Amino acid sequence: MHSRIVRRTIAAAAVAGALTACSLDLQNPNQPTEQQVTTTVDGVIALATGLQSRFAQSYGNFAYMAGLVTDEFASTPAALISISDAEQGAVAPGTGIADNVFNSVYRTVRTADDVLAGSDALEAQFEPGTRSGLRALAFALKAEALGEALQSYQKIPIDTSSP
């Protein structure tokens, strides 16, 4: 009986050791790296689709901040305390209402820059009309995002090419 328990314990330890020895450093296919996205035609097109979503988020943040400042928006009774407090002019540090605009605007600008860089690097692989459309979208949304930043802040960085 005792030797059976010892053998089972040793077998369980061996199985546990074998399971922990495998590499769990796997790449998430739903979260490709920047290198993977900007070096393929499909990746750049997908990035341009994501750019539109990024711009929509930045525009939502911009409209929300502007609405709070001008009292055009009101919070619902079940709103977060920070939103209700913002209506009263008491915004707690770290709420991020103004930070959200800045961060989302520059995420949009960075994504637009990546679309432009990818369309340049893969110029020979794109159909001319597709490349032209991607570049027009990237330039337009980058300009719109920088316009939001200009309306929100006194000074902003325009040259976004440096890291």
CB neighbours of residue 31 within 10 Å = 7
* pLDDT tens, position by position, 51-73: 999 999 888 888 877 776 666 66
The closest alpha carbon to 130, from 141, 115, 144, belongs to 115
Q: Output the six-digit token pair for 43.
A: 């990746």
Dist CA 149 CA 156 (whole Å):
7
Dist CA 48 CA 29 (whole Å):
18
CB neighbours of residue 145 within 10 Å = 26
Dist CA 42 CA 84 (whole Å):
43
Dist CA 114 CA 96 (whole Å):
26
Q: Angle 86-90-91 (CA atoms, 0-180°, nearest 5)?
A: 65
Dist CA 163 CA 63 (whole Å):
28
Residue 50: pLDDT band (50, 70, 90) is very high
CA atoms within 13 A on the CB side of 124: 0
In this prediction, residues 66-93 reach a mean pLDDT of 63
CB neighbours of residue 27 within 10 Å = 9
In this prediction, residues 37-52 reach a mean pLDDT of 92
Q: For the chain, what is the mean pLDDT?
A: 80
* pLDDT tens, position by position, 9-24: 776 666 665 555 566 6
